Amino acid sequence: MLHSEEIQIFFLSLRVAGIGIFICLPFALTAGWILSRKEFIGKSLFDTLLSLPLVLPPVVTGYALLFLFSNGSILNRWLGLGSINILFTWIAAALAAGIVSFPIMIRSIESAFSNVDKNLEFVSRGLGAGFWLTFFKITLPLSSKGIYAGIILAFGRAIGEFGATIVVAGNIPGKTQTLPLAIFTSLQIGDDQAAIRYILFSVLLAFIVLISHRKLTNN
């Protein structure tokens, strides 16, 4: 029998991961297109910087977010947040999940764009279609499966995010406690039954993500 707080944690985890991916998707599309279509000085460095969240300890990413969004920070003033504090809220958890998953999306999107025949884009542009029309009518549809696969895989990674989340959003029951944090808390207090239920949730979600990704990449 599932408790109401367990159901709440499950749906909070889905919301945090979904919003995190949604926030980062436009940046991943832009970065993936640049990496697949452009050659420029410093491209390797650009690619490396985008990949950093994939190899850095997640707590480092969380600390960076903590610094960037703290009251009085340059980014906080630039965004005009003023006294609005997103730290230790589910929004901060979503940002942490999205940024840690960001490189996974970029890799898949870059690969998807690279597999699109550039000649089709050249023909479209030659027939008078502008960049955006060509992108939305040619490039995006032909690369959609790879993009969806990247989104799904990144979503799975976002669901499992722990280190960055606990640093920037804390482990607040009912507010920022996602599935990995709930597992951690249950194990800490010795509630093995709750931990097992959360683990089963996580395994089920992982299976769904991986099966969906496999179907997209195999067709």
DSSP state letters, 10-68: HHHHHHHHHHHHHHHHHHHHHHHHHHHH---TTHHHHHHHHHHHHHS-HHHHHHHHHHH
Q: Whole domain around residue 95: which residue ranges?
A: 4-218
pTM over 0.85: yes
Total structural domains within the chain: 1
At residue 73, the pLDDT reads: 61
List the CATH number of the domain containing 41. 1.10.3720.10
How is residue 105 written in tokens? 């999306």
How far is Cα of residue 101 from the mean position of the Cα atoms in its chain? Answer: 4
16-66 confidence digits (pLDDT tens): 999 999 999 999 999 999 999 888 898 999 999 999 998 999 999 999 888
At residue 72, the pLDDT reads: 63
